[in-house]
Chain A
C-alpha cells in the first residue's frame, strides 16, 4: 500500500518554463490537497479537490492550476515558473469531510526556479 506518491521528487526549472507535478493516492480518498512549504512559513494550501472533476482555490492559488480528472490523481501545474515558486510542494489526501480522519501526505517535491 503506497499511500500518497509524488513525482518528481526534485526539479530545477528556468524562469518561464512550465511543469506538472503529479500526485497519486491508492486509498480511495475523496479529498486531495496541494500545499507549499517555505522556510519559516509552515504549510500553505494552494488548491484542493473535494472529488473527481472538482477543484477549488486555497490560500495561495496564484500562478498555479490543478486538475482532478481521475479520483486517484491530482495534478499541479505551473504555466510560467517564477523564482517565488521555489518551494517544497506536498500533496495530501483525506477520506471524509464529515469528520477529520487525518490527512496522508506524500514525501514532497523540491522545486527550484532559477
Chain B
C-alpha cells in the first residue's frame, strides 16, 4: 500500500490561498491521488482526484508533478467554513482485487478570521 505523508496541521487567514502538499514516494503506476475533506462529526467528503498534471473543479485544484511522488491541494480564498481535516490518499489494490483506500491522519486546517 502506498504511504502518504502530509503536515499534521496548518493555519490560514480568511481570503488566503492554502496549499497542502502530500508526499507519496512509492505510488504505483495505476494509482490515483484523491483528497477528502472531513468536518467534525461528519464522514469524509470527496473533494478532488487526479492522476497527473493539474485538475481543477469548483472546490479546489490539484497539482501533480511529472514524477507523481507528491501532490498539492490548492484551496483558493479560504473561508471559515473550510476549517476541516484534509486527507490525501493514494489508491491500492488488495489481493482480492478490491480498490481500497488507506486514510492517514490528515492535515487539520484552521482558518482564522
Contact = CB atoms under 8 A, between A and B. Distances in A.
Contacts of A74: none
B91 A100 contact: yes
B42 A108 contact: yes
Interface in A14-67: 31, 33, 35, 40-45, 48, 50, 56, 58-59
Contact of B44 (A40, A48, A96, A105): A105
Chain A's interface size range is 20 to 34
A56 B98 contact: yes
A95 B69 CA distance: 26
A33 to B, nearest CB: 8
Contacts of B49: 100, 102
Interface residues of B, number: 25
A94 interface: yes
A56 B44 contact: no
B105 A40 contact: yes
B96 A50 contact: yes
A50 B99 CA distance: 9
Contacts of B41: 107-108
Given A42-B106, A108-B41, A103 B46 contact: yes
A6 B97 CA distance: 26
Contacts of A103: 36, 44, 46, 101
Interface of B: 32, 34, 36, 41-46, 49, 87, 91, 93-94, 96-106
Interface of A: 4, 31, 33, 35, 40-45, 48, 50, 56, 58-59, 90, 92, 94, 96-100, 102-108
